[in-house]
Amino acid sequence: MKEKIVVLDFGGQYNQLIARRIRDLHVYSEILPFQTPLSELEDPSIKGIIFTGGPNSVYHETSPHIDEKIFSLGKPILGICYGAQLMAYTLGGKVEPIAEREYGARKVEVDSTSALFQGLEKQQQVFMSHGDQVTALPQGFRCISSSETCPNAAFEDKKRNLYAVQFHPEVEHSLKGQEMLTNFAYSICHCSPSWKPDDFLATKIEEIRQQVGDHKVLCALSGGVDSAVVAALVSRAIGKRLTCVFVDHGLLRKNEAKQVAETFSPMDLNFIKVDAADDFFAHLKGVEEPEQKRKIIGKCFIETFEKEEQKLDSNDYFLAQGTIYPDRIESGLGLSAKIKSHHNVGGLPKDIQFLGLVEPLKDLFKDEVRAVGKLLGLPDAIVHRQPFPGPGLGIRVVGEVTPAKVHIVQEADAIFREELEQNGIRPSQYFAALSNMRSVGVQGDSRSYDYAVVLRAVQTDDFMTAEPYEIPFSLLKHISERIINEVKGVNRVLYDSTSKPPSTIELE
Ligand code: XMP
């Protein structure tokens, strides 16, 4: 029995970061919905529970609440932000709105006699983001941290092993946040640093075997790191009962279809390549709205897989997908606000013909997926490939997607990537997109009225937030010249210098 800390999800955008930070301490952690029945939480392998933050106010009837009996399970609990307010409110304390929302790095004083803050200096910088705060503690609690603006920045009931922080220890701006989580995991929950990424492999392989039983799996392989890792994992779990289908939807980067086929067909994965470009373009004709494009591409994908399944020996297949955590959170998993439908999540039709979905990476961040890929022995070229969205260039062409526009992006993107790689510049993600803006230019002696290509390069660890990459201007200028000279239909090249948020990484 592996010990773990469960994170109950109350809906913030950064919740998975908490589980991630606990895993970084070599303690297994997973997210569960806040409605998880108490009977499941009684599992003795659960050594502690964390309540996440969330966008709601506890005193609204429709906000997520929790059964008071959870506090009598005898398990240590740490409430964070909304989770702290919920703990106080449920146990009889008082939560009230503050005059002005508090957001950003703040100084607090902490009491290091509390197990949560042991070994820490009195003055701490933490990250606050809240519109309500706890104004009266429930019986049995004492205040263990405060600031000028937040009287109960943290509180504890040591006897019942209940702890709460108004701030976010999981966020980097809380400089000693990881130490606080370490104290919670090791000193309060008494976990030991015993979990290793290899355990993840063993656990997932076993889970896949359990889920799939004697059936088979069709894996949607895009050639990217996520689906390649899934294919390798499922292959380890069920061997030849795996078939991998690679759909060339015509929205891939230049030469990509050929490269993917060359990489994967020699592997023992029953690799099938399907040419479906005409079908995808026909469905995308006249469609401009990005959400609609994603839905169409997602639906075409599934229909293509279903058609392939029908060609196979039986209809006895699960569908495996490389869905990772950020895909789900941005598609509006649980209570988080929906930002867009990732094709492998929100784009799925309700009743697919498969026996079910196999998504072994759904709780991981990209860098964790790469670590798993390395453990599985995948080649570096796959493990370190920059991310490429499932809907492909379909969401890098703003407005209607046509073969001609896709061709422009493919060519411009190939030049951009070639130049950055040749100059040893490797941002986390970099690509060209096509705006739907046409403008006047002058080429040779004549007037042109052509498209503007947008170049985007960002630096990020978790792809939830990102900073624009500072490419030397002389190189940008050289790349622009090459694109204008070599790609027909373009007379302007723009560089996107926005962060995420407020932008996203993709340009759709
Ligand atoms: P955004 O644009 O949401 O991108 O800031 C975050 C990361 O996710 C990738 N992305 C996707 N990946 N299917 C995927 O597999 C999708 O539908 C999708 N949309 C965005 C994006 O490339 C970036 O790495």
Per-residue pLDDT tens digits of the chain, which is 508 residues long: 579 999 999 987 777 889 989 999 999 998 888 999 999 999 999 999 999 999 899 999 899 999 999 999 999 999 999 999 999 999 999 999 999 888 888 999 999 999 999 999 999 999 999 999 999 999 999 999 999 999 999 999 999 999 999 999 998 889 999 999 999 999 999 999 988 878 889 989 999 999 999 999 999 888 789 999 999 999 999 999 999 999 999 999 999 999 888 888 888 899 999 999 999 999 999 999 999 999 999 899 888 877 887 888 777 889 898 888 877 765 555 444 444 555 454 344 445 577 888 999 988 888 889 989 999 988 888 898 888 888 999 999 999 999 999 999 999 999 999 999 999 999 999 999 999 999 999 987 889 999 999 999 999 877 778 899 999 999 999 999 999 999 999 999 999 999 988 999 999 9
Identify the residue whose tokens are 């007037």: 447
CA 443 to ligand 1 center in whole angstroms: 35
What are the DSSP calls for 444-482, one per residue?
A: TTEEEEEEEEEEEEEE-SSSSSBEE----HHHHHHHHHH
Helix axes 473-486, 403-422, angle to 10 degrees: 140
Identify the residue whose tokens are 């809906």: 11
Q: Which of 170, 188, 206 is the last residue in one of the domains? A: 188
Q: Do both 47 and 65 map to the same domain?
A: yes
Atom index in ligand 1 nearest the CA of residue 345 equals: 17
Q: How far is residue 402's CA from residue 288's CA, in Å, rounded to a whole number?
A: 11
Residue 504 in any domain: the answer is no
Q: Do both 226 and 122 map to the same domain?
A: no
Ligand 1 proximity of 222 Cβ (cutoff 6 Å): no
Q: Would you state the pLDDT for residue 351?
A: 56
- List the catalytic residues: 81, 168, 170
Q: Which of 154, 188, 222 is the last residue in one of the domains? A: 188
Q: Do both 335 and 415 map to the same domain?
A: no
Ligand 1 proximity of 187 Cβ (cutoff 6 Å): no
Ligand 1 proximity of 343 Cβ (cutoff 6 Å): yes
Ligand 1 proximity of 505 Cβ (cutoff 6 Å): yes
Residue 502 in any domain: the answer is no
Q: How many CB atoms lie within 10 A of CB 269?
A: 21
Identify the residue whose tokens are 């950003």: 104
Which residue's alpha carbon is at the smallest distance from atom 20 of ligand 1?
Answer: 389
Q: Do both 227 and 340 map to the same domain?
A: yes
Q: How far is residue 334's CA from residue 362's CA, in Å, rounded to a whole number?
A: 13
Atom index in ligand 1 nearest the CA of residue 429 equals: 24
Q: How far is residue 455's CA from residue 481's CA, in Å, rounded to a whole number?
A: 13
CA 452 to ligand 1 center in whole angstroms: 22
Ligand 1 proximity of 347 Cβ (cutoff 6 Å): no
What are the DSSP calls for 330-371, one per residue?
A: HTT-TTSPP----TTTTTS-SS-SSS-EE-TTTT--HHHHHH
CA distances from 191 to 22, 29, 91, 187, 378 (A): 11, 11, 26, 8, 32
Q: How many CB atoms lie within 10 A of CB 270?
A: 17
Q: How many CB atoms lie within 10 A of CB 506?
A: 17
Q: Would you state the pLDDT for residue 332?
A: 55
Which domain, by its residues, includes 209? Answer: 197-383
Q: Would you state the pLDDT for residue 409?
A: 98
For residue 502, whether the previous peptide bond is cis, meaning omega lies within 30 degrees of 0, is yes
CA 339 to ligand 1 center in whole angstroms: 11
Q: What is the CATH number of the domain that holds 201?
A: 3.40.50.620
Residue 66 in any domain: the answer is yes
Which residue's alpha carbon is at the smallest distance from atom 18 of ligand 1?
Answer: 389
Q: Do both 241 and 138 map to the same domain?
A: no
* 296 in Cβ contact with 392 (< 8 Å): no
Angle, CA 42 vertex, CA 40 and CA 48 arms, to 5°: 105
Ligand 1 proximity of 132 Cβ (cutoff 6 Å): no
Ligand 1 proximity of 385 Cβ (cutoff 6 Å): no
The residue among 486, 434, 481, 472 whose CA lies nearest residue 455 is 434
Q: Do both 354 and 426 map to the same domain?
A: no
Strand ranges inside 240-295, DSSP E: 242-248, 271-275
Q: Would you state the pLDDT for residue 73?
A: 96
Q: How many CB atoms lie within 10 A of CB 463?
A: 21
- The pairing of beta strand 317-320 with beta strand 446-459: unpaired
Q: Do both 210 and 147 map to the same domain?
A: no
Helical (H) or strand (E) element with 307? helix 290-311
Ligand 1 proximity of 293 Cβ (cutoff 6 Å): no
Residue 318 in any domain: the answer is yes
Task: Look up residue 196 and give its two tokens.
Answer: 């290793």
Which residue's alpha carbon is at the smallest distance from atom 4 of ligand 1?
Answer: 505
Q: What is the CATH number of the domain that holds 51?
A: 3.40.50.880
Which residue's alpha carbon is at the smallest distance from atom 9 of ligand 1?
Answer: 389
Ligand 1 proximity of 359 Cβ (cutoff 6 Å): no
Residue 391 in any domain: the answer is no
CA 59 to ligand 1 center in whole angstroms: 35
Residue 503 in any domain: the answer is no
Q: Do both 303 and 207 map to the same domain?
A: yes
Q: How many domains does the chain have?
A: 3
Residue 389 in any domain: the answer is no
Three-class DSSP category at 173:
coil
Q: Would you state the pLDDT for residue 390?
A: 84
Helical (H) or strand (E) element with 79? strand 77-80
Residue 472 in any domain: the answer is yes
Identify which of 342, 393, 431, 507 to mutate to test ligand 1's pocket (most ligand atoms within 8 A of the CB). Answer: 342
Which residue's alpha carbon is at the smallest distance from atom 12 of ligand 1?
Answer: 389
Q: Do both 359 and 426 map to the same domain?
A: no
**Widest distance between CA atoms in the chain:** 83
Chain CA centroid to CA 83, Å: 22
Ligand 1 proximity of 366 Cβ (cutoff 6 Å): no
Atom index in ligand 1 nearest the CA of residue 386 equals: 24
Q: Which of 188, 216, 238 is the last residue in one of the domains? A: 188
Q: Do both 145 and 176 map to the same domain?
A: yes
Bridge partner list, 133: 96
**Cβ partners under 8 Å of residue 205, min gap 6:** 233, 236, 237
CA 506 to ligand 1 center in whole angstroms: 7
Q: What is the CATH number of the domain that holds 486?
A: 3.30.300.10
Q: How far is residue 7's CA from residue 24's CA, in Å, rounded to a whole number?
A: 14
Identify which of 463, 469, 496 to mutate to test ligand 1's pocket (most ligand atoms within 8 A of the CB). Answer: 463
**Cβ partners under 8 Å of residue 498, min gap 6:** 468
CA 501 to ligand 1 center in whole angstroms: 14
Identify the residue whose tokens are 């469905």: 283
Q: Would you state the pLDDT for residue 346?
A: 39
Q: Do both 93 and 23 map to the same domain?
A: yes
Ligand 1 proximity of 365 Cβ (cutoff 6 Å): no
Q: Would you state the pLDDT for residue 330?
A: 56
Q: How far is residue 44's CA from residue 67's CA, in Å, rounded to a whole number?
A: 19
Q: Would you state the pLDDT for residue 314?
A: 73
Q: Do both 371 and 405 map to the same domain?
A: no
